[in-house]
Amino acid sequence: QPPPPFTTSKLQQEASRWLRFSAKKTMATAQRLYEGIELGPEGPVGLITYMRTDSVRIAAEALNDAREYIHSHYDGTFLPPKARVFKVAGAAQDAHEAIRPSSMAHPPQAIKQFLSPDQFRLYQLIWNRFLASQMNPALLDQTIVDIAAANCLFRAQGVVMRFPGFTVLYTEGKEDNGEENGFGKLLPEVREGEVLNLISLTPEQKFTQPPPRFSEASLVRELEENGIGRPSTYAAILSTIQEREYARLEKGKFVPTDLGILVTDLLVKNFPRILDVAFTASMETELDRIEEGKTKRLDTLNNFYLPFTEELRQAKANMRNIKREETPTDLLCERCGKPMVIKWGKNGRFLACTNYPDCKNTKNFTQDEKGKIRPEEDRQTTDIPCPLCGKLMLARQGRFGKFLGCSGYPECKHTIDVAPDGTQAAAPVEGKTSDTLCEKCGKPMVAKRGRYGTFLGCSGYPECKNIVKTRASGRPAGSASEQELTDVLCDKCGKPMAVKPGRYGKFLGCTGYPGCRNIMKYKPPGK
């Protein structure tokens, strides 16, 4: 049977399997398709319906348009006698219809020139799934083929395709275990008594395998099946567990980190009621009941908060204080010779000298399957001389990423940013006055380093607290030199206009921004 049109969770799962998109990338690309794409003379056109939905409902007009398209572009055998209507799940909010093309007047190939490669691939996936949902089912013969070879009997089980139906447009992606959704392995057509030639013989030994790790697709499916989250939160959940370093993606699979395992163990032990999957699902249901007016929000809050207060009190009294724990190692500090121990910080485990605070040496480390600890060196000598004192710079890893630090530290504290590609970035020396003037008071801007990298701060601080983000090159982000300047002058202040991207395509913006916010319509060269 053909699958229903996409809900948010299914779109994220299939985009992960077919396109290798993360849930975050899928939603960002779908958002752009929904908001509108410039289609030449037509202007901006929203290509899909709202992409955050848990419903498979389709508007009657859209069903008729899909049937007309199938009738005119495919053999009549592909069109069922009447429109296919899918049942909406009982827990679905059904606030929006399923994800589908907003109009059948824009086939993917016809508008490919206006879409980025990612936008085209996702739009084609949505288009094909929607049309396939209104086609006839595929006809398959469940088949067993017995093959006799000398005294051995080999058996192959699978299906033989008799009529492709909706599969001419769409088949669901492979599951994590490698088996197809919907139907099994396709077999070639063979006749009884037919002689088959041996192509290869490959002996295989198989062992019982543990359950596979979650991919983004299978984790979204698990969340949906357990009633955790909503269409608008699936991508955020997957992003959060990575941003907080509770898990990392390795070859498309989620692997829990030491920090993630520890946090989970502590929370499950001390807050078993809240960390129970059933609690999260029931809370989602309770929030729906509040929205529908079936229960009062204060009642729900009291039912949650009163027991939670007691759980919190007990956790404060009994929860294990991991920051005070130290695990001895056989490693010695290379600075003072004292033993190193394993401690916990907000970013996970690290090696620390037991001579703290007299020695503040710390190191990241890795640990193999046998428990052997390998310290990660945080510095590496380069052939780049320090522009201030002439000593060689060291490649270092700090809290906010890689940078070059002078080997003469602490006498020389000069640092240099490292660009995303690993090369030295031509960032300004910290504390050095730049040639950029403050747009608020006119004083020179000064290069500074903050927790998120370098930036320009006004030399008039604290009277003027203006700051400007910088690129890896050290230039102000969005500076005129990084914009596509035109020969068009602003009709308000006379400064050059620059080509800028906008929600509905390119436009001309004044380079005097934010002092001048004038914008003009963009006309491509030659038009």
**Is residue 283 pLDDT above 50, yes or no?**
yes
> CA 337, 338, 342 angle in degrees (round to 5)?
125
- φ/ψ of 392, rounded to 5, equals -70, 145
**Which segments within 126-283 are labelled E, that is strand?**
139-149, 152-163, 247-250, 253-256
**Which segments within 197-315 are labelled E, that is strand?**
247-250, 253-256
**Is residue 290 pLDDT above 60, yes or no?**
yes
Contact 467, 490 (CB under 8 A): no
Q: Is 50 a catalytic residue?
A: yes
**Is residue 502 pLDDT above 60, yes or no?**
yes
The 8-class DSSP code of residue 484 comes to E
Q: Identify which has the larger pLDDT, 89 or 17.
A: 17
How far is it, in rounded angstroms, from Cα 271 to Cα 260?
16
For 44-62, how does the pLDDT look when each residue is reduced to its tens digit (9 = 90+)? 999 999 999 999 999 999 9
How far is it, in rounded angstroms, from Cα 130 to Cα 124?
10
Query: Quick one: what percent of the chain has pLDDT higher than 70?
Result: 85
The count of residues in the chain is 527
pLDDT class of 270 with cuts at 50, 70, 90: very high
For 109-134, how does the pLDDT look when each residue is reduced to its tens digit (9 = 90+)? 999 999 999 999 999 999 999 999 99
pLDDT score, position 158: 84
Which segments of the chain belong to CATH 1.10.290.10? 8-132
pLDDT class of 401 with cuts at 50, 70, 90: low
- Residues near 262 by beta carbon (within 8 Å), at least 6 away in sequence: 322, 344
Contact 220, 12 (CB under 8 A): yes
Please report, for the chain, how many H helices and E strands are present, in that order: 9, 23
Closest to 119 measured CA to CA, from 180, 33, 59: 33
Which segments of the chain belong to CATH 1.10.460.10? 216-318
pLDDT class of 107 with cuts at 50, 70, 90: very high
Q: What is the DSSP secondary-structure string of 422-441?
A: SSBP-PPPTT-EEEEEPTTT
In the block, tokens 């032990």 appear at 269
Contact 278, 230 (CB under 8 A): no
Contact 392, 404 (CB under 8 A): no
DSSP H or E segment with residue 352: strand 348-353
Q: Identify which has the larger pLDDT, 250 or 386.
A: 250
The 8-class DSSP code of residue 13 comes to H
pLDDT score, position 287: 87
**Of 34, 50, 356, 513, which residue is the catalytic one?**
50
For the purposes of burial, counting CB atoms within 10 Å of the CB of 133, is it exposed (0-12), middle (13-18) or buried (19 or more)? Answer: buried
Q: What is the DSSP secondary-structure string of 390-418?
A: -PEEEEEEETTEEEEEETTTTT---EEEB
For 178-213, how does the pLDDT look when each residue is reduced to its tens digit (9 = 90+)? 444 456 677 888 888 899 988 888 888 888 888 999
Cβ count near 38 (within 10 Å): 14
pLDDT score, position 179: 42
Which homologous superfamily is 216-318 in? Topoisomerase I, domain 2 (1.10.460.10)
CA atoms in the 13 A half-sphere facing the CB of 326: 12
| DSSP 3-state of 366 | strand
For 16-45, how does the pLDDT look when each residue is reduced to its tens digit (9 = 90+)? 999 999 999 999 999 999 999 999 888 999
CATH, domain range 8-132: 1.10.290.10
Average pLDDT, the chain: 83
Contact 340, 332 (CB under 8 A): yes
Q: Identify which has the larger pLDDT, 168 or 446.
A: 168
Torsion over CA of 20, 25, 30 and 36, rounded to 10 degrees? -130
pLDDT class of 240 with cuts at 50, 70, 90: very high
**Is residue 394 pLDDT above 80, yes or no?**
no
Q: Identify which has the larger pLDDT, 127 or 407.
A: 127
Question: For 2-27, what is the mean pLDDT?
Answer: 93
How far is it, in rounded angstroms, from Cα 140 to Cα 159?
6
Pairing of strands 444-450, 433-437: antiparallel
Question: For 389-414, what is the mean pLDDT?
Answer: 74
Helix axes 234-243, 216-225, angle to 10 degrees: 120
**Is residue 217 pLDDT above 80, yes or no?**
yes
| DSSP 3-state of 260 | helix
pLDDT class of 368 with cuts at 50, 70, 90: confident
**Is residue 177 pLDDT above 90, yes or no?**
no
pLDDT score, position 434: 62
Pairing of strands 339-345, 327-332: antiparallel
The answer, as to whether pTM is greater than 0.95, is no
pLDDT score, position 472: 47
pLDDT score, position 525: 66
Contact 176, 218 (CB under 8 A): yes
